[in-house]
Structure 1
Amino acid sequence: MSQSPNRLVATIFGAVYLLVGVLGLFVAGGNFIGQEGGLLLGIFQVNHLHNIAHLLIGAALLTAGLRSTPAAKGTNTTVGAVYLLLGIVGFFIAGTAANILALNTADHILHLASAIVLLGAGLALDKSSATARPAV
């Protein structure tokens, strides 16, 4: 694997989200969908749908990180944008029937933090010479 920052970020985040998805399956109990869920690490509320989302996102990030810099850059940007939206919307849907992923405040904050790192990497790192601005 090349020394691309985007590939490194995608690989690390992918592995972490896969691990979180697997661990969450053990604490979610019988809650597949809805506002209720088990607590992962004693703070992050998860249900099985939430865990499946983590597994899919982790797989996408890990695959992109292992594949190529453009794949990692695009996946980091896309997942980062989705997490930014989810982090913001999450505050508004908590306590409503729309909260089918059993999100809580800790989840919102973690999703926003993930969004900052993923979007930052995807949008700011690995600038190709074709898109770099010439020196003035």
Structure 2
Amino acid sequence: MARLKEGRTQVSGLQPVQMLAALVGLVYLAFGIIGLIVTGFGDFAGSTGSTLWVFAVNPLHNIIHIVVGVLGVLMAVKSSGARTYGWLLLVAFGVLLLWGLAVTGVFATNPVSGLGNPLALNAADNWLHLGTALLGLIIAVMPARKAAGTPGGTSDAGDRMHTARAPAEESRQPRGRKLWRRGTAH
């Protein structure tokens, strides 16, 4: 693998990781908006008994879904942002999964019993949070699928993307010296 000469790698074109992050963001955004229609804003952090399909929801829970959705859509603009979003999903929903497991009585003792259940979590939410955390891991480590290069124009393989050099020209040049052609550095 060739070394990258000028730092960060840039990928060209829309990456699958960006589409997946945007899709997850849109699903959470829609879920949050529909949830707010179901619950309204009354009893903001209480256990209202409202459900959306099999998931327990309250207004605070819905606002968190909307924030997660907006973050996903905004961070999907760049490939690096989409990957960061994946790590955020993994960590945040991993913590929510552990919280939900404690609240729903899966653990022998509930270490967060004094904090209550402000998000109205139930067993179905735990499965959703597990799936979202795993999806976040997939987003975070998904490889790039299109041509990649550094800001200076070299690809990951070390070849020039904009100007092609003949292999013979490269071999004739002493190490450390730059090849000049028509006033342009290569």
Unaligned 5+ segments in structure 1 are none
The TM-score with structure 1 as length reference comes to 0.83
Aligned partner letter, 2:82: A
Alpha-carbon distance in 2 for matches of 1:102, 1:36: 8
Query: Considering only CA atoms, is the larger Rg found in Structure 1 or Structure 2?
Result: 2
1-side partners of 2:73 and 2:130: how far apart?
20
C-alpha displacement of 1:80? 2.0
Instruction: Return the offset for 1:87.
Output: 1.1
Report what 1:101 is aligned to.
119
In structure 2, distance between residues paired with 1:86 and 1:5: 26
Could you say which residue in structure 2 is the equivalent of 1:123? 141
Tell me the percent identity.
32
Structure 2 residue aligned with 1:59? 70
The answer for the alignment partner of 2:80 in structure 1 is: 70
Counterpart of 2:94 in structure 1 is 84
Letter in structure 1 aligned against 2:45: I
CA RMSD of aligned residues (A): 2.4
Identify if the C-alpha distance between structure 1 residues 34 and 126 changes in structure 2 by more than 3 Å, giving closer, same or farther: farther
Between 114-123 and 51-60, the greater mean CA deviation after superposition: 114-123
Distance 2:49 2:79 in 1: 36
Aligned 8 A contact 1:88 1:112 in 2: no
SS at match of 2:20: helix
Q: Secondary structure of the residue that 1:78 maps to in structure 2? A: helix
d(CA) in 2 for partners of 1:53 and 1:37? 18
- How many residues in Structure 1 have an aligned counterpart in Structure 2? 129
Counterpart-to-counterpart distance in 1, 2:49 and 2:70: 22
Deviation at 1:98, TM superposition (A): 2.3
AA aligned opposite 1:24 = G
Normalised TM-score (structure 2): 0.62
1:129 Cα deviation after fit:
8.2
Residues 34 and 102 in structure 1, CA contact (< 8 A), matched pair in contact too: yes
| 2:47 alignment counterpart | 35
Moved more, 90-99 or 25-34: 90-99
**Alignment partner of 2:14 out of 3, 27, 36:** 3
Specify which structure has the higher proportion of helix: 1
TM superposition shift of 1:28? 1.8
